Amino acid sequence: MFTGIVTNTGTVRAIRDTNRDRRFEIETDMDIATVELGASISHCGCCLTVVDKGPGWFATEVSRETLSKTTLAYWHPGRVVNLERAAKVGDELGGHIVSGHVDGVGSVVSITPVGGSHEIRIEARAPLHRYIAPKGSIAVEGVSLTVNEVEGEIFSVNVIPHTWDVTTLSRLEPLSRVNLEIDMLARYLARWRETA
């Protein structure tokens, strides 16, 4: 479980296909000594398990299913990624409850400076768009954000300067693909309405 508050970034240093999965090695200034093998880390919103590590780096393996449902299939060496370690009981919940299970991939429509912040408009195609509501929460690339407005399949979020500076959101441009995780409450409410 995560909160959508990015604590570090990392850089993909190597990618290798294995006979089962795809292995990613990530360089980071995270304190690797405190990261156990088997630990869960959010990578741009996708929960992955640490399978190997060394000074200044760790590795994860990604299934074909995950590659087909997220932006990870498009990652390349040199790509900078948002990282968040799993929340612990008693941690401050600064964002919202994020599972690390990406619901779909969206596409950036536009990025507009607004004062010191940036408004990002993102297309979330049907049926995902129906789970996104104004003033609700959404994780974009693993970052907890508040939805400003929703117009059909397009929604907007506002990114404050601090978040812009410490995450990969500043690297986005129109047509960039982004991992989206809808608010867990919205998912269950919609399911309840469908079966009620």
pLDDT digits (tens, 9 = 90+) for 3-34: 999 999 999 999 999 887 999 999 999 999 99
Q: Are residue 117 and residue 190 in the same domain, yes or no? A: yes
The one-letter amino acid code at 61 reads E
Please return the burial class of 15, using the count of CB atoms within 10 Å of its CB with bins 0-12, 13-18 and 19+: middle
Q: Which of 9, 64, 58, 16 is nearest to 36 (CA)?
A: 58
Which range of residues forms the domain containing residue 114?
Answer: 104-195
Tokens read off for 122:
């993102």
Q: Cα torsion for 160, 43, 81, 114, to the nearest 10°?
A: -20
Please tell me the predicted confidence (pLDDT) of residue 114.
96
Average pLDDT over residues 151-168: 97
| Average pLDDT, rounded, for the chain | 93
β-bridge partners, 121: 110, 156
Q: Could you tell me what percent of the chain has a pLDDT over 90?
A: 81
Q: Are residue 75 and residue 145 in the same domain, yes or no? A: no
Quickly list DSSP for 8-19: EEEEEEEEEE-S
The residue from 55, 85, 115 where one domain ends is 85
β-bridge partners, 151: 154
Q: Could you tell me what percent of the chain has a pLDDT over 70?
A: 94
Contact yes or no for 26/81 (Cβ under 8 A): yes
CATH (domain of 125):
2.40.30.20
β-bridge partners, 147: 157
Q: Are residue 69 and residue 135 in the same domain, yes or no? A: no
Please tell me the predicted confidence (pLDDT) of residue 1.
87
Please tell me the predicted confidence (pLDDT) of residue 10.
98
Task: Report the C-alpha gap between 183 and 137 in whole angstroms.
Answer: 6
Task: Report the C-alpha gap between 46 and 6 in whole angstroms.
Answer: 12
Task: Report the C-alpha gap between 10 and 24 in whole angstroms.
Answer: 11
- In which band, very low, low, confident or very high, does the pLDDT at 191 lie, cut at 50, 70 and 90? low
- In which band, very low, low, confident or very high, does the pLDDT at 54 lie, cut at 50, 70 and 90? very high
Q: Model's pTM, two decimal places? A: 0.93
Please tell me the predicted confidence (pLDDT) of residue 190.
67
- Quick check: is 165 in a domain? yes
Please tell me the predicted confidence (pLDDT) of residue 24.
98
Predicted confidence (pLDDT) per residue in 77-121, tens digit: 999 999 999 988 777 777 788 999 999 999 999 999 999 999 999
> Cis before residue 127, ω within 30 degrees of 0?
yes
- Quick check: is 115 in a domain? yes
- In which band, very low, low, confident or very high, does the pLDDT at 145 lie, cut at 50, 70 and 90? very high
Q: Which of 179, 183, 144 is nearest to 48 (CA)?
A: 179
Task: Report the C-alpha gap between 31 and 131 in whole angstroms.
Answer: 36
Angle, vertex CA 97, rays to CA 161 and CA 78, nearest 5: 55
Residue 196 has pLDDT above 70, yes or no: no
